[in-house]
Structure 1
Amino acid sequence: MTTALDSRPAARGRDAADGGSPGRNTRPRWMSRAAVNAALVIAAVYTFFPAMWMLVAAAKSSTGIMDGHLLSFSDFDLLGNLRGLMHQDGGVYFRWLLNSFLYAGVGSVCSALVSCAAGYAFDKYHFRGKEKLFGLVLLGVLVPSAATVLPMYLLASKVHLVNTVWAVLIPSVVNPFGVYLARVFAQGYVPDEVVEAARVDGAGEVRIFGTIGLPMMRSGFTTILLFQFSAIWNGFFLALVMLSNQNLYPVSLGLFIWDQGVATDGPSLISLVIFGSVIAVTPVIVLFICLQRFWRSGLTAGSVK
């Protein structure tokens, strides 16, 4: 009588006869460790080479950039680029930088608060037409932001907000994707039992949201804030349409205007544009590094629920 144990030597014998190694999983050659590591190295070089190019070019003079010898150890003029950035157009660059902090900082915080409040309301309250209204919010996610700039400009011109700070700040507060994300976080992190217990204790709805709902949605608040801060900081089309006063420009729009002037005013601006771009991208990187622990804690908590 043949048993399962008796069939194992026979199977090993067939594997040996076929030239295979017993007990070893055969993998294609292109899935070997060396091939995978080589692909990762190529992807890393492709990803980080533009950043390295920008850092090296930021320390070069305009002549060194135009000559094309960026990887050579010559034509470095970092202090000269900094002085040029401070004196170009009366040092307006640093005013643009402060404007960007105003637009992105205030806009992202207000947007995260409004989105968390709306998402909390959509999840915890029951009212007529709630799902239809939420469907309109999801429809707003599908509409490109560039398509809404002209209607917003017409509305701003009616109330005389064009060429003011409010023309950029007010549209930045609205974030349909943030509302959707906040509802997901409210659904997963704010139990209905906790809200009902607070109501039984006599707490008002605003107090419940401020002391219970919002702290529990902290990771969602941080995620929305990071997304919106990055979007406002890097965006310039809304400011391009709304603003005509150079002193109100964000840094992204100001650098775009300088970059357009490279072709007409000569290559002297190119080093300032690259150096200014390096400075402009730094706050976003620092913000992501400082707030990543809140974001990662929220993702980790969601993975074990």
Structure 2
Amino acid sequence: MSITASANGAGKVRRPLGLMPTAVLLLGALYCLLPVGWVLVAASKTRGELFSTNAFTPGTGLLENLSDLSAYRDGIFWQWMANTALYAGVGAVLSTAVSVLAGYALAKFRFVGQGLIFNVLIGGILVPSVVLAVPQYLLLAKAGLADTYWAVLLPSILHPYSIYLARIYAAAAIPDALLEAGRIDGAGEGRLLRVVAVPLMGPGMVTIFLFQFVAIWNNFLLPFIMLADDHRFPLTVGLYTLLVTGANQPALYNLVITGALLSIIPLIALFLTMQRYWRTDLSGGSVKS
């Protein structure tokens, strides 16, 4: 009886060490959110309050800062915002489509050179994007595409890690037996891709899209090298030029901080909107209504 009681109560004993992972995660979250909190508070301060008050004391100049930012150079900040949405949105959609098609083909088909292609893909993951920036500029300049929207969009479409992730996800989420059953029923490869593979890869596609969207949204080096016309700049390069100008005009620091705050709002909204797709059942696409 005592053994049974101790066995039943053993699972209810809360060990102090069990709280350590939670504490570490909370500290990590605090560390990541602290700069965001500072930007939120600093964006509310006037020029005088920015350097004269406590770092986390709210100010009274948020509306003034927003107005000044919108008025700066006839609202060029909103042009940068629109450019960034174009680069990130179109680039992420195209990259997701290419990655899903390539990953599905590598996972579910057997063809000559498949292993070599996959090994080259793994090697491409190991190459830093910084190394490729200058060669990409030279190639696009040779094609007459430098300082155009295509100079930023085209390099973002093909992403080795996204293809690798799609390949791994397709291999795990799409049963071979389900594809064979579809082929026996007379379905073509295109229909199998559209009706079976894509619904089953939904959560993986959302993950790839978010990774690419955030990567392109935060990309600095590639557009910095590719673009010369500041009307084509994304937010990262635009805010950088504003910060450099602010070295001689400290009044612009408020605009840089306010612009940084506005630049992270779309990312937060996107994650909050699309996170529910990660909870989708992986087999939901194969259930017939």
Quick check: TM above 0.5? yes
Assess, with a 3 A threshold, how the Cα gap between structure 1 residues 300 and 49 changes in structure 2: closer, same or farther.
farther
- 1:299 shift after superposition: 8.4
TM-align CA RMSD: 2.6
- For residue 293 of structure 1, what is the aligned residue in structure 2? 276
- 1:72 shift after superposition: 3.7
> Do the aligned partners of 2:201 and 2:282 also contact (CA within 8 Å) in 1?
no
User: How many Å separate the matches in 2 of 1:195 and 1:101?
Assistant: 37
Assess, with a 3 A threshold, how the Cα gap between structure 1 residues 55 and 192 changes in structure 2: closer, same or farther.
same
Aligned length: 275
State the structure with more CA Rg: 1
- 1:145 shift after superposition: 0.8
Q: Between 45-54 and 131-140, report the one with greater CA deviation.
A: 45-54
Alignment deviations for residues 44-79 of structure 1 (CA, whole Å, 9 cap, x no partner): 544433222111101111221122433345x51111
Give matches, 1:249-288, under 5 Å. Answer: 249-264=233-248, 266-288=249-271
Alignment deviations for residues 151-210 of structure 1 (CA, whole Å, 9 cap, x no partner): 100110111000100111111111111111111111111111222222233332222212
SS of 1:67's equivalent? coil
> Do the aligned partners of 1:220 and 1:298 also contact (CA within 8 Å) in 2?
no
Give matches, 1:171-210, under 5 Å. Answer: 171-210=155-194
Q: Is 2:97 aligned against 1:147?
A: no
Assess, with a 3 A threshold, how the Cα gap between structure 1 residues 59 and 26 changes in structure 2: closer, same or farther.
closer
User: How many Å separate the matches in 1 of 2:118 and 2:261?
Assistant: 40
User: How many Å separate the matches in 1 of 2:236 and 2:137?
Assistant: 19
- For residue 116 of structure 2, what is the aligned residue in structure 1? 132
Q: Is 2:32 aligned against 1:56?
A: no
Give the TM-score normalised by the residue count of structure 2: 0.87
Q: Is 2:150 aligned against 1:170?
A: no
Give matches, 1:11-90, under 5 Å. Answer: 31=17, 45-72=30-57, 75-90=59-74
User: How many Å separate the matches in 1 of 2:63 and 2:228?
Assistant: 31
Partner amino acid for 1:93? F
User: How many Å separate the matches in 2 of 1:32 and 1:200?
Assistant: 51
Assess, with a 3 A threshold, how the Cα gap between structure 1 residues 270 and 26 changes in structure 2: closer, same or farther.
closer
Match of 1:161 among 141, 145, 158: 145
> Do the aligned partners of 1:64 and 1:70 also contact (CA within 8 Å) in 2?
no
Assess, with a 3 A threshold, how the Cα gap between structure 1 residues 300 and 211 changes in structure 2: closer, same or farther.
closer
- For residue 95 of structure 2, what is the aligned residue in structure 1? 111
Q: Is 2:84 aligned against 1:100?
A: yes
Give the TM-score normalised by the residue count of structure 1: 0.83
State percent identity of aligned pairs. Answer: 40
Q: Between 54-63 and 64-73, report the one with greater CA deviation.
A: 64-73
Q: Is 2:257 aligned against 1:248?
A: no
User: How many Å separate the matches in 2 of 1:52 and 1:156?
Assistant: 40
- 1:118 shift after superposition: 0.4
Match of 2:220 among 236, 260, 272: 236
> Do the aligned partners of 1:60 and 1:70 also contact (CA within 8 Å) in 2?
no
Partner amino acid for 1:290? T
> Do the aligned partners of 1:59 and 1:76 also contact (CA within 8 Å) in 2?
yes
Partner amino acid for 2:278? W
- For residue 287 of structure 2, what is the aligned residue in structure 1? none
Assess, with a 3 A threshold, how the Cα gap between structure 1 residues 270 and 204 changes in structure 2: closer, same or farther.
same
SS of 1:202's equivalent? coil
Give the unaligned 5+ runs of structure 2. Answer: 4-12, 285-289
- For residue 16 of structure 1, what is the aligned residue in structure 2? none
Partner amino acid for 1:176? P
SS of 2:56's equivalent? coil
Assess, with a 3 A threshold, how the Cα gap between structure 1 residues 248 and 44 changes in structure 2: closer, same or farther.
closer
User: How many Å separate the matches in 2 of 1:268 and 1:199?
Assistant: 66
User: How many Å separate the matches in 2 of 1:242 and 1:118?
Assistant: 27
User: How many Å separate the matches in 2 of 1:70 and 1:160?
Assistant: 47
Q: Between 227-236 and 63-72, report the one with greater CA deviation.
A: 63-72
Give the unaligned 5+ runs of structure 1. Answer: 9-24
